[in-house]
Amino acid sequence: MLKKVGLVALLASLLSVVVATTAWGSAKAPANAGAVAAKSVKCGTKVTIGVAYPETGPAATLGTPQWDWANFAKKTWNKSHKLKLAFVRGDTQLAGNNPQAVQVAHAFASNGKILAVSGPAGSQEMEDTASVWKGANLGPVSGSETRVALTRALPGTPRETTPGYFFRTVPNDGQQGDNVATFIHKKLKKTNVRIIDDEEAYSQGLSLQVKNDLQKVGVTVTTDHISQQNPDYNSVIAAIPGNTQLVYIPWQVPAMAQQFFTQLRANGDHQIVMGSDGTDDPSTFKGAGSYVSGFPVQTNAPALKSFKKAHGGDPETFGLPTYTSVMVNATALQMACNAGHGKTTRAAVRKDVAKVKLSKAVSLLGFPVVFLKGNHGKFQGNGDMGGTAAFGIYKIQPNGSYSRVG
Amino acid sequence: MHHLLVFNIIDQIRTLGWPGFWSLLRNGIVSGSLLALIALGYTMVYGILQLLNFAHGDIYMVGAFIGYGVLQAFGGAEMASFPIVPLIIIMFAVAMVGSGVLGVAIERVAYKPLRNAPRIAPLISALGVLFFLESSVQLLTNSAHVLYEGVYLGGNYPSTFGPLLNSVFTVDGIPFTTVDTLVVLAAVALMVMLVWLVYRTRFGKAMRAVAFDREAAAMMGIDVDRVISMTFFIGSVLAGAAGVMYGLYIGDTSFTLGFQYGLLAFTAAVVGGIGSIPGAMLGGLLVGLFQNFATGYVGGQWSDIVVFGILIGFLIIRPNGILGSKAIQKV
Amino acid sequence: MSDTPDTPGVPEPPPEPPAETESGPKVGVDSWVASHEGRTQRGPLGWLAHGWESTPDWIKLLAFVAIAASLPYWLLRSEGDLFNFGLYTLLFVGFGLGLNVVVGYAGLLDLGYVAFLGIGSYTYALLSSPYYGIHWPAEAVIPIAMLAATIPAAILGFSARRLLGDYLAIVTLFFAEAFVVFTNVANPVLFGKGLTGGANGIPQVDPLTFFGYKISSTKQEYFFLIGAVAVVAGALYLANQSRTGRAWRASREDPLAAEVMSMPVNRLKILAFIFSSAVAGLFGAIFAAILTAAVSTQFGIPFLITIYAVIILGGLGSIAGVFVGAILINCTFVFLEPQTDHPGFKRWLFYGAIIVLVALLKPWYKAVVVFVGTIATGFVAHAVVQAWGGSAWTGGKTINGASWLSHWVIIPKTSHGNFDNILYIGLVVAMVVVMMLKGWWRIIALGPTLYLTAVVWENVLSENPGVTALILFGAMLVGLMIKRPQGLLGQARVEIV
């Protein structure tokens, strides 16, 4: 008797769960991905951008500034435009959990409100989600993916995204690496270089590019690796061959670059240290005599000053391209909504992203933003920034300030 | 391919020569001392409760952050000419007490109710505490890296701990700095105090009794709960001290510290024989030396594998660690 | 004891057991332990438990397959939901099934399981992608992947002979770490390319192709996965019912006694490792195909802990438990993640969960006291802060759909970084205090603590949903172990120490 009652109770509770969740389910956006991708969305007064960045995981130190800058962009835009921005954020947990990026991509793809995407942060995340974005008719604008193959086919590696479905507001590894190698060889005239990467995809990409470029012109290059999670550099420093003149550290965390510099000097070594754009942070990386790649940002631009004030005096610029990417998306949305008289689709927004032109004052990167339509130079392709977009090379002065030298 | 690697290693050893050797030895001893302090916490808790306290690495991380908090309260890492010695003492004191209290709280909340549960329950509980602590610190620090040493050397801006990086003596041109000696001396002092506590005091005797046979100790009138809490307290105090030392030595910390270092310290405790106090100290030193020599001679990317490989091989040959005692299986 | 001495040297006969005064079993007598099953839970929960236990297992599996197959038509209609809630849950079920064999059935603490998943993934990725240009069909690659995963597992199992529980855990943990380091950094060059692709991994992996039929859309993958999971679950269930299963259980409970009873314990251990790694290789390969990539960093310790949480929550050794655990953990995580865009709903879920937990206090008047205490503290605190600080301290955000809530919770207008930190630390301290108090003191302390929880939620946690999910996960693990260490569908075991 008890068994029968139990069975009935089980079925009843199952049924109630089914009914309740059906009600919840059918309240959401229905149908398949194709319908969502082609849907026409009313602009109204608010448009939604999906922001994908690593909120948790070991790379959270990099994600948080990106989110801060994205929010700053939203505030700045909303102050002066009638069409307001709203964000849906996706936590991609870069370097801790690659599948998370795929989950975020699927979630964004199915969210009918999202018309444009800023992010994701890591190149390998883009490689894995390119097909999802394409199927969803979205063209993400990333502020930190630097792998060359994302926009340009190279011998041995085909292009990894479809043209028109990916843009980036940051110069790629080929451009930066080439720049750095030329500077080291021609300007600094060094003949013996050691490259230490931090075992992340960004670092490995840059390291490879610089190594190949330097070896082609006859510079001796040795390499080493240290995990991004391990700031004990003493033994890596001890392993540096005595005749090394310059150590290139294409890392993503300025604090670690500073620590490397400190430990190097404390060990009595005198090699010059050169960092990449990931270490560009005047408030943290202050090793005098070192070099750094960075955006030619005007540090006294009013927007930069107000960001600094809102963040306790820390003007870190790693997240700056995310600001630019939000501005790109917002401009494209504005263009698409105006053209469609209050209604637009993802495809229209995507096409407008390719047409966006931002002035120097708006982009904050130190150069105007315009996207390439085809291949250009040695490393650039459709989706890269054209024009004068490039990193500058800075030298750190004894008082900690950065001054441009290349 | 393998013989190439061996040639590379021999080549590297010759290139770095004696200065390289002293450098790596110094690094190994310093980081080994830190690892030994953390490993002691692991080993003491295992000895008493047969519990692998995975959350211990996070206590170490919290200690480093408490020290940083004290530093900030006094003005931050960029004060010029601040009396360093009292500052360091205060940082140590506050961090040690704070970590100790945290350790006891964790024991009370997460492990005490599980004394009689199956072995896997406190293990999972420890993992839960690990997640909780690490994410909480991430929340509180907004995922940022914090710098202890501020900026330094070669520039004309102030640095609180700048004097720490002056060299005390040199061997073959390799400087041994103040902070290196400070860390090693402090670690040795703490370990000596621990050994005195465990082997020369009545309370130490009680600890050893509870580790040997908890029920019999209880029957002899020892307050087992108090002994266990004190064990956690002492282990956490050591970890907190190690955290501050790490901050002074390396200069940078973030919320991911506990995980990485915790794993390494855990390795050290196991290699030395888990449950054995001298074993933890020896194991910490060995792992520190192994790691640094491997980084220097084999290369950053292989060093972790080399260390793990040696340790796995070790455990397969001597399953109880170097100084561990054979566990008696009861039917 | 009688007072007339009997024949010296002959012990007294034992006293008669007292006549049973009531018809129930007695504490201290073996029949109490034996009638454990009879003492079911009372009330509706008891009826559910009974109903569950009395359905035959094959019907449970069939019901699951039927319900799961129907989901894309009424609950998970959007593709994103199907992928995140449906596909991912099934993947976790698959992972959990494999781990359940070695940890649940055989009782071996295997912390290297993610490495086997990784080996399966990488094998599939290397043999079915443009990386080396090899594009073998899935029916050839998957058995190879399963085989590739079992080889190191057999070696590990072999080394398990000499290692007792904790040491085995350590060796397997090192193996897992070594795997990540090997694939991420060491990346030895083979046939002109780094074998494992370094930090980038191996991208653009082909979708599963069985005998010419390509499984590429989310729906197709979903149905395929339901089938795969059902088949593997059935196979493992049969293995559990067999002699091997019984032998595993015996060696789990008491290896020495099992050895004495002539069970080949060492061979059983190796067998457990092989079974578990074969399942891991299979689902690792499917994982790579679904994600279209194999990246080393995803097979790290946090992933391992999640799979462990799945089988522990469900109950070790219970196949149905793996299903339940995977559904609960994955769906909760995905729901709490920021990209699932329901901020309002999440708030009500959080408050609702707290209300339900409090309502479980017995007797009912304790729960009422807690509720009243919480609400009262809230209004009092709000009034005090309002009077003292003005609306700069309470004017914060307006909560859509529940503006009365903003009169209860304190939300300052501009977030003062230190204020948030102090609140959070205060909450943690308050919770520790509550746990250490007993009786009525605990009930009284619970009121303000719950109010503090609400304040912290509004101010801090909902701004950082990803980190909050992890904090709640950690707290859940601790709470679960304290309340119910055997998991939801597991059996309470007493360990012989």
User: Which one has a higher pLDDT value, A223 or A311?
Assistant: A223
- pLDDT at residue C397, rounded to an integer: 62
- pLDDT at residue B129, rounded to an integer: 93
What is the Cα–Cα distance from A148 to A153, expressed in whole angstroms? 8
Q: How confident is the model at residue A16 (pLDDT cuts 50, 70, 90)?
A: low
- pLDDT at residue C124, rounded to an integer: 93
Residues C290 and C196 in one domain: yes
Asked whether residue A159 is assigned to any structural domain, the reply reads yes
A64 and B142: CB-CB below 8 Å? Answer: yes
Residues A164 and A196 in one domain: no
Residues C364 and C304 in one domain: no
Residues of chain A with Cβ-Cβ distance to C471 below 8 Å are none
Contacts of C445 (CB under 8 A, 6+ apart): C430, C433, C434, C437
Residues of chain B with Cβ-Cβ distance to A60 below 8 Å are 138, 143
Question: What is the total count of domains within chain A?
Answer: 2
H or E, element range at A246: strand A246-249
CA torsion C154-C160-C166-C170 (nearest 10°) is -50
Residues A135 and A268 in one domain: no
H or E, element range at A46: strand A46-53
Residues A204 and A332 in one domain: no
Residues C69 and C217 in one domain: yes
Kindly tell me if the per-residue pLDDT of A25 is higher than 50. Answer: no
DSSP tag of C413: S
Mutate to test the interface with B, among A262, A271, A291 (most CBs of B within 10 A): A262
Q: Does the structural domain B2-317 have CATH classification 1.20.120?
A: no
What is the Cα–Cα distance from C91 to C82, expressed in whole angstroms? 12
Rounded average pLDDT over A380-395: 86
Judged by average pLDDT, the poorest of A99-108, B154-163, C154-163 is: B154-163
Residues C230 and C92 in one domain: yes
Interval C116-129: pLDDT, tens: 999 999 999 999 88
Torsion sign across C-alpha atoms B59, B65, B68, B70 = negative
- pLDDT at residue B227, rounded to an integer: 94
Kindly tell me if the per-residue pLDDT of C98 is higher than 90. Answer: yes
Helices B178-200 and B202-212: crossing angle, nearest 10°?
80
User: Which one has a higher pLDDT value, B76 or C306?
Assistant: C306
Q: Cα distance from C381 to chain A (closest Cα, Å)?
A: 29
Distance between terminal CA atoms of chain A?
Answer: 86
What is the Cα–Cα distance from C309 to C296, expressed in whole angstroms? 21
- Nearest 5°: the CA angle C219, C220, C223 is 85
Residues C389 and C315 in one domain: no
- pLDDT at residue C9, rounded to an integer: 56
What is the Cα–Cα distance from A324 to A358, expressed in whole angstroms? 9
Q: Measure CB to CB from residue C83 to each of A32, A96, A103 and give the nearest one.
A: A103
HEC letters along chain B? CHHHHHHHHHHHHHHHHHHHHHHHHHHHHHHHHHHHHHHHHHHHHHHHHCCCCCCHHHHHHHHHHHHHHHHHHCCCCCCCCCCHHHHHHHHHHHHHHHHHHHHHHHHHHHHHHHCCCCCHHHHHHHHHHHHHHHHHHHHHHCCCCEECCCCCCCCCCCCCCHHHHCEEEEECCEEEEHHHHHHHHHHHHHHHHHHHHHHHCHHHHHHHHHHHCHHHHHHCCCCHHHHHHHHHHHHHHHHHHHHHHHHHHHCEECCCHHHHHHHHHHHHHHHHCCCCHHHHHHHHHHHHHHHHHHHHHCCHHHHHHHHHHHHHHHHHHCCCCCCCCCCCCCC
H or E, element range at C293: strand C293-294
H or E, element range at C238: helix C218-241
Tell whether C203 lies on the interface with A, counting CB pairs under 8 A: yes
B154 and A400: CB-CB below 8 Å? Answer: no
- pLDDT at residue C2, rounded to an integer: 46
DSSP tag of A156: T
Helices C165-181 and B257-272: crossing angle, nearest 10°?
130
Kindly tell me if the per-residue pLDDT of C324 is higher than 50. Answer: yes
**B171 bridge partner residues:** B174
Asked whether residue C132 is assigned to any structural domain, the reply reads yes
Percentage of chain B beyond pLDDT 90 is 34
What is the Cα–Cα distance from C228 to C205, expressed in whole angstroms? 20
Using only C-alpha atoms, chain B has a radius of gyration, in whole angstroms, of 21
Kindly tell me if the per-residue pLDDT of C243 is higher than 50. Answer: yes
Asked whether residue A30 is assigned to any structural domain, the reply reads no
A267 and B23: CB-CB below 8 Å? Answer: yes
Asked whether residue C51 is assigned to any structural domain, the reply reads no
Residues 247-266 of B with CB under 8 A from A: 250-254, 256, 259-260
CB C355 within 8 A of CB C446: no
Question: What is the total count of domains within chain C?
Answer: 2
Kindly tell me if the per-residue pLDDT of C200 is higher than 60. Answer: yes
Average confidence (pLDDT) per 10 residues, chain B, 331 residues: 64 80 89 92 89 90 91 74 81 94 93 85 89 89 75 57 73 79 90 91 91 89 93 94 90 81 83 84 90 83 75 75 64 44
- pLDDT at residue C36, rounded to an integer: 60
Q: How confident is the model at residue A17 (pLDDT cuts 50, 70, 90)?
A: low
Asked whether residue C281 is assigned to any structural domain, the reply reads yes
H or E, element range at C202: strand C202-203
Interval C213-238: pLDDT, tens: 888 888 888 999 999 999 999 999 99
Nearest-by-CA chain A residue for C301: A96
Asked whether residue A307 is assigned to any structural domain, the reply reads yes
Interval B215-272: pLDDT, tens: 899 999 999 999 999 999 999 999 999 999 998 888 788 888 888 788 888 888 888 8
What is the Cα–Cα distance from C493 to C477, expressed in whole angstroms? 18
Domain end point (choices C310, C336, C362): C336
Mutate to test the interface with C, among B302, B308, B326 (most CBs of C within 10 A): B308
Q: How confident is the model at residue C204 (pLDDT cuts 50, 70, 90)?
A: confident
Residue A196: strand, helix, or coil? strand
Residue C154: strand, helix, or coil? helix
Asked whether residue A357 is assigned to any structural domain, the reply reads yes
Mean pLDDT of all residues in chain A? 83
CATH of the domain at A86: 3.40.50.2300
DSSP tag of C86: I
Mutate to test the interface with B, among C185, C196, C437, C481 (most CBs of B within 10 A): C481
Residues A268 and A399 in one domain: yes
Tell whether B16 lies on the interface with A, counting CB pairs under 8 A: yes
Give the total residue count for chain C: 497
- pLDDT at residue B73, rounded to an integer: 83
DSSP tag of A371: B
- pLDDT at residue A28, rounded to an integer: 46
Return the biggest CA–CA distance within chain A: 91
Asked whether residue A61 is assigned to any structural domain, the reply reads yes
Residue A43 belongs to domain spanning: 36-171+303-370
Q: Measure CB to CB from residue A58 to each of B157, B253, B256 and give the nearest one.
A: B256
Q: Cα distance from B77 to chain C (closest Cα, Å)?
A: 19
What is the Cα–Cα distance from C191 to B22, expressed in whole angstroms? 39
- Nearest 5°: the CA angle A282, A284, A285 is 70
Single-letter residue type at B303: S
Residues A247 and A350 in one domain: no
Interval C335-359: pLDDT, tens: 877 777 666 677 777 888 888 888 7
Percentage of chain C beyond pLDDT 90 is 20
- pLDDT at residue A214, rounded to an integer: 92
| Six-digit token string for C103 | 């940890």
Residues C299 and C160 in one domain: yes
B143 and A63: CB-CB below 8 Å? Answer: yes
Single-letter residue type at C303: F
Residue C381 belongs to domain spanning: 346-463
User: Which one has a higher pLDDT value, C387 or C307?
Assistant: C307
- pLDDT at residue C344, rounded to an integer: 67
Nearest-by-CA chain C residue for A59: C297
Residues A275 and A399 in one domain: yes
Q: How confident is the model at residue C282 (pLDDT cuts 50, 70, 90)?
A: very high
Q: Measure CB to CB from residue B132 to each of C185, C309, C471 and give the nearest one.
A: C471
Asked whether residue C424 is assigned to any structural domain, the reply reads yes
Domain regions of chain B by residue span: 2-317
- pLDDT at residue A26, rounded to an integer: 45
Residues C122 and C268 in one domain: yes
Nearest-by-CA chain C residue for B131: C474
Percentage of chain A beyond pLDDT 90 is 21
Residues of chain C with Cβ-Cβ distance to A127 below 8 Å are 200, 203-204, 293
- pLDDT at residue B268, rounded to an integer: 86
Asked whether residue C363 is assigned to any structural domain, the reply reads yes
Residues C312 and C414 in one domain: no
Asked whether residue A16 is assigned to any structural domain, the reply reads no
Residues of chain C with Cβ-Cβ distance to B114 below 8 Å are 481-482, 485
Kindly tell me if the per-residue pLDDT of A200 is higher than 70. Answer: yes
Q: Cα distance from A79 to chain C (closest Cα, Å)?
A: 18
DSSP tag of C15: P
What is the Cα–Cα distance from B131 to C467, expressed in whole angstroms? 10
Q: What are phi and psi of C94, to 5 degrees?
A: -60, -45
Kindly tell me if the per-residue pLDDT of C287 is higher than 90. Answer: yes
H helices present in C100-217, as ranges: 113-127, 138-159, 165-181
Q: Measure CB to CB from residue A266 to each of B144, B165, B292 and give the nearest one.
A: B165
Residues A353 and A364 in one domain: yes
Asked whether residue C61 is assigned to any structural domain, the reply reads yes
User: Which one has a higher pLDDT value, C72 or C15?
Assistant: C72
What is the Cα–Cα distance from B149 to A260, expressed in whole angstroms? 12
Interval A272-313: pLDDT, tens: 999 998 888 877 788 888 999 888 876 667 777 888 777 766
- pLDDT at residue B93, rounded to an integer: 94
Report how many Cβ contacts below 8 Å link chain A to chain B.
134
B147 and A255: CB-CB below 8 Å? Answer: yes
Q: How confident is the model at residue C3 (pLDDT cuts 50, 70, 90)?
A: very low
A60 and B167: CB-CB below 8 Å? Answer: no
C339 and A160: CB-CB below 8 Å? Answer: no
Asked whether residue A29 is assigned to any structural domain, the reply reads no
Answer left, alpha or beta for residue A312, where phi above 0 means left and psi between -120 and 50 means alpha.
left
Interval A106-155: pLDDT, tens: 889 888 889 999 988 888 888 888 888 988 889 999 988 888 888 888 88
H helices present in C242-264, as ranges: 243-253, 255-260
